[in-house]
């Protein structure tokens, strides 16, 4: 049989994007090469600027029987990593945890790290290249492959089978660098192929592999020679079992159990809105985003009630059919004037505003630059858009500029950031950020959910705070400082007309209720007529921070969002529950809202708090943190 090895390697700006290899009959070589090129050009990590395809005779081929497969379903990536360590330890690799901790060092390597199982000494000799296991394929890849020639499971099985047949290799850890593929595996001659359903978070483009060796140093070259040059065909790759229907809810139950054990279970707490002051014997709410305390303002309430009586309980349709009332257009015009923009458009929620706006502005062939700590609604909008998403380090504008400079070939570039980051309380450096966006002709979009009504002398947000220009797209919410419900986008007349016709979450959603729109309009009028509320909010936040620090609680913030670091998820939950027992509601913010091990108490100060309440809360927090 006349066979050819068809190898594809793709990169962009020198960084690996995709790679694959097939061993096929000569008659299929051209079609296989075409499929691999198609695969390279449609990779989750983006479009490469260099694709190399190499055809060569594979040399002598040995045939190996595929490893036995065990499919391990886990509830989280963290549980998956722990299982990988446990499996290797069970197989006699005592330093498995330390080996797992080396995995980040492989992220930038072109091949695998080869280490001694007992000393952890590097044996590959080239820290950047590592060992590249090549010259291999599945005997039935043409059957098992997809239209683009890609089958994660079959390719991983081929690799694992070859590696575990190399002399001296006793184990392997592998994590894919495909951001859409969270499954990984560990393998050994005794364990076989242990597939783990989640070993990293979705969207993480970091991957790598470690080959674990035990034997004489003089035999290492033979192992490397086998891995890199011996041609292998793997036979009888097992079909991966599909989950049976009756397992569906057992899987959900297992995930719930894992969430609870990790201290990450969330429940809804029912509160009586009328009892918000300690002096009235109720609960002190130190968690609401009603920063200016306008949700309780009689003028705001009366405006909502009047609209309810006049226009009814609901809008009755989408904005483009029967759902637009005068109160919607009045609010949009008011928001545009308040923000110094040409026009505004109202959405039902902030989540829908972010998802709809991002999806309207960018798609396949475009690039989004997104801050690493952006809100989940921005992250989801990015993922759903189909554009390539490039995450830059939180607040690191040099990293943003560097990554933007590599995205010139995209049709459109959108840079998106929170104005105030909701879990940390820090502020975007808008002037520098805008300069970088304009330097590279990128759309600029900020989410002012936590800065409208909070920053600037009159609460007009980040541009007023810095006395600088506006971004192309300013998104804000009606549900925080303005005390109502809904969200808005402000910008040029063309931008708003475009969103009205392209933003699917606007087009295909029932319009917000007239009552909510009227209440938000009234709140905006109250803010404009009495900006002293913004100053009261700042003074309250500064007082609360000082009270915490005076009692030994270390906090850093530039806004009324005051995160109190705790670290451990269970401890944060215990602290929140202890404060609830004292009549104070402060939520424990845990993974996945923040990074694992970075749990915190998130305090939110409002203009309506008085200093006695804030001092009481600061004392309670300090005492509770000493006891949990």
Over residues 592-626, the pLDDT tens digits come to: 888 878 899 999 999 999 999 999 999 999 999 99
Instruction: Name the phi and psi angles at 227, rounded to 5.
Output: -65, -40
pLDDT given at position 141: 62
pLDDT given at position 279: 40
pLDDT given at position 148: 42
Would you please indicate which residues are annotated as catalytic (active-site) residues? Answer: 422, 450, 480
Domain ranges of the chain: 3-58, 62-245, 266-293+532-627, 315-512
Sign of CA dihedral 192, 198, 199, 204: positive
Sign of CA dihedral 605, 609, 611, 612: negative
- DSSP-derived letter for residue 420 is B
pLDDT given at position 145: 36
Q: CATH second-level architecture of 315-512? A: 3-Layer(aba) Sandwich (3.40)
- DSSP-derived letter for residue 610 is -
Sign of CA dihedral 47, 50, 53, 59: negative
CATH code reported for the domain at 266-293+532-627: 3.90.1150.10
Q: Burial code of 324-347, b = ≥16 C-beta within 10 A, e = fewer?
A: bbebbeebbebbbebbebebbbbb
161, 166, 169, 277, 480 from 219: Cα distances, Å: 20, 11, 11, 75, 66
Segments of the chain with pLDDT less than 70: 1, 43-45, 141-150, 241-251, 254, 272-281
pLDDT given at position 273: 59
Intra-chain end-to-end CA distance of the chain, in Å? 70
pLDDT given at position 149: 47
3-state secondary structure of 602: strand
User: Same CATH topology for 266-293+532-627 and 315-512?
Assistant: no
Half-sphere exposure of 176 toward its Cβ, with a 13 Å CA cutoff?
29
Residue closest to 209 by CA, chosen among 303, 107, 128, 125: 107
């Amino acid at each position: 049989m006349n066979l050819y090895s068809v190898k594809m390697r793709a990169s962009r700006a020198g960084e690996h994007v995709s790679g694959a290899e097939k061993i096929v009959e000569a008659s299929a070589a051209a079609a296989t090469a075409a499929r691999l090129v198609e695969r390279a050009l449609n990779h989750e990590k983006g479009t490469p600027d260099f694709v190399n395809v190499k055809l060569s005779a594979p040399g002598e081929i040995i045939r190996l029987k595929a490893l036995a497969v065990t499919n391990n379903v886990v509830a989280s990536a963290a549980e998956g990593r722990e299982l990988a360590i446990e499996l290797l330890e069970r197989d006699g690799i005592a330093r498995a945890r330390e080996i797992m901790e080396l995995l980040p060092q492989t992220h930038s390597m072109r091949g695998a790290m080869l280490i001694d199982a007992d000393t952890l000494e590097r044996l590959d000799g080239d820290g950047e290249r590592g060992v590249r296991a090549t010259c291999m394929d599945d005997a039935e890849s043409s059957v098992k492959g997809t239209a683009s020639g890609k089958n994660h499971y079959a390719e991983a099985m081929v690799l694992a089978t070859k590696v575990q047949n190399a002399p001296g290799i006793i184990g392997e850890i592998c994590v894919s660098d495909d951001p859409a593929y969270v499954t990984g595996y560990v393998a050994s001659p005794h364990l076989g192929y242990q597939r783990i359903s989640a070993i990293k978070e979705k969207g993480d483009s970091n991957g790598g592999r470690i080959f674990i060796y035990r034997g004489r140093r003089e035999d290492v070259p033979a192992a490397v020679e086998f891995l890199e040059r011996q041609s292998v065909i793997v036979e009888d790759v097992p079909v991966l079992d599909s989950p049976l229907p009756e397992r569906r809810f057992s899987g959900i139950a297992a995930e719930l159990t894992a969430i609870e054990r990790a201290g990450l279970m969330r429940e809804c707490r029912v509160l009586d809105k009328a009892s918000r002051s300690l002096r009235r014997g109720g609960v002190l709410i130190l968690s609401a985003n009603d920063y200016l305390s306008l949700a309780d303002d009689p003028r705001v309430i009366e405006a909502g009630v009047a609209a309810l009586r006049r226009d009814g309980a609901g809008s009755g349709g989408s904005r483009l059919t029967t759902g637009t009332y005068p109160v919607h257009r009045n609010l949009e015009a008011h928001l545009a004037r308040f923000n110094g923009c040409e026009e505004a458009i109202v959405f039902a929620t902030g989540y829908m505003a972010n998802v709809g706006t991002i999806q309207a502005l960018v798609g396949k062939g475009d690039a989004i630059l997104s801050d690493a700590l952006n809100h989940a609604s921005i992250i989801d909008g990015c993922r759903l858009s189909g554009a390539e998403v490039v995450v830059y380090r939180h607040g690191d504008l040099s990293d943003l500029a560097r990554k933007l400079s590599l995205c010139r070939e995209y049709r459109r570039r959108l840079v998106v950031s929170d104005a105030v980051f909701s879990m940390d309380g820090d502020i975007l450096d808008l002037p520098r950020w805008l300069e970088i966006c304009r330097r590279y002709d990128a759309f600029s979009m900020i989410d002012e959910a936590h800065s409208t009504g909070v920053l600037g002398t009159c609460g007009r947000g980040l541009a007023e705070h810095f006395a600088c220009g506006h971004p192309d797209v300013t998104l804000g919410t009606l549900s925080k400082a303005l005390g109502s419900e809904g969200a808005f986008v402000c910008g040029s007349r063309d931008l708003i007309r475009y969103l009205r016709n392209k933003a699917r979450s606007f087009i295909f959603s029932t319009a917000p209720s007239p009552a909510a729109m009227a209440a938000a309009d009234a709140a905006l009028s109250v803010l404009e007529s009495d900006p002293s509320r913004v100053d009261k909010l700042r003074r309250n936040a500064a007082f609360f921070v000082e009270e915490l620090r005076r009692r030994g609680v270390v906090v850093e913030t530039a806004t009324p969002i005051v995160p109190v670091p705790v670290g451990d998820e269970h401890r944060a939950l215990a602290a929140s529950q202890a404060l609830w027992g004292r009549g104070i509601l402060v939520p424990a913010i845990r993974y996945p809202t923040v990074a694992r091990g970075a749990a915190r108490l998130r305090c939110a100060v409002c203009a309506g708090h008085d200093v006695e309440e804030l001092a009481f809360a600061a004392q309670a927090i300090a005492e509770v943190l000493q006891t949990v």
